[in-house]
């Protein structure tokens, strides 16, 4: 595997998402769901602004891309809102395994059909088995 070094990176990012879910529950209990989501994105926006100011902004290049590529920006707040609402009620573990099941299921469909510019990767028995194993984990952790 050519890019095996990326696996620890994405595992660490996944761990960060679990920490984020754990932080959002108590925050939303104190300030409300909407304000918790706003707070998380405000901090992220500050970091992004810092990067853009000291990096080389490419806004013209970004906005010259097809508009549908920018719709991914809607998904971040929806994801964070789902974490904020669900985690206090069902816990970090069940929330994250549910999200993982949705991510892997959608990813397999996207890869299988080569949607969104992805290279086609057929869903074989191993990949389907991995999705079933995550579904089993979702059932067991519930």
Q: What is the pLDDT of residue 112?
A: 96
User: How high is the pLDDT of residue 75?
Assistant: 83
Note the pLDDT of residue 1: 64
pLDDT, one tens digit per residue, over 36-72 is 989 888 988 888 888 777 766 677 777 788 888 877 7
**pTM of the predicted protein model:** 0.79
Q: Average per-residue pLDDT in the chain?
A: 87
b or e along 77-100 (b: 16 or more beta carbons within 10 Å of the residue's beta carbon)?
eebbbbbbbbbbeebbebbbbbbe
17 confidence band (pLDDT: 50, 70, 90): confident
Q: At what angle do helices 125-141 and 72-113 cross, to 10 degrees?
A: 130
Confidence of residue 22 (pLDDT cuts 50, 70, 90): confident
100 pLDDT higher than 90: yes
* Total residues belonging to the chain: 142
The reported pLDDT for the residue numbered 140 is 95
The distance from CA 87 to its chain's CA centroid, rounded to whole angstroms, is 15
Domain boundaries, the chain: 6-141
Answer whether residue 80 shows pLDDT above 90. Answer: no
- Report pLDDT for 56: 67
Percent of the chain with pLDDT over 90: 36
């Amino acid at each position: 595997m050519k890019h095996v070094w990326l696996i620890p990176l994405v595992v660490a990012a996944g761990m960060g998402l679990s920490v984020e879910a754990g932080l959002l529950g108590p925050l939303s209990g104190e300030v409300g769901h909407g304000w918790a989501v706003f707070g998380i994105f405000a901090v992220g926006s500050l970091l992004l602004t810092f990067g853009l100011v000291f990096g080389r902004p490419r806004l013209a290049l970004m906005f010259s891309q097809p508009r549908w590529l920018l719709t991914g920006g809607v998904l971040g707040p929806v994801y964070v809102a789902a974490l904020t609402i669900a985690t206090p009620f069902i816990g970090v573990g069940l929330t994250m395994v549910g999200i993982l099941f949705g991510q892997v299921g959608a990813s397999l469909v996207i890869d299988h059909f080569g949607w969104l510019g992805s290279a086609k990767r057929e869903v074989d028995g191993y990949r389907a088995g991995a999705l079933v194993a995550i579904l089993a984990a979702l059932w067991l952790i519930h």
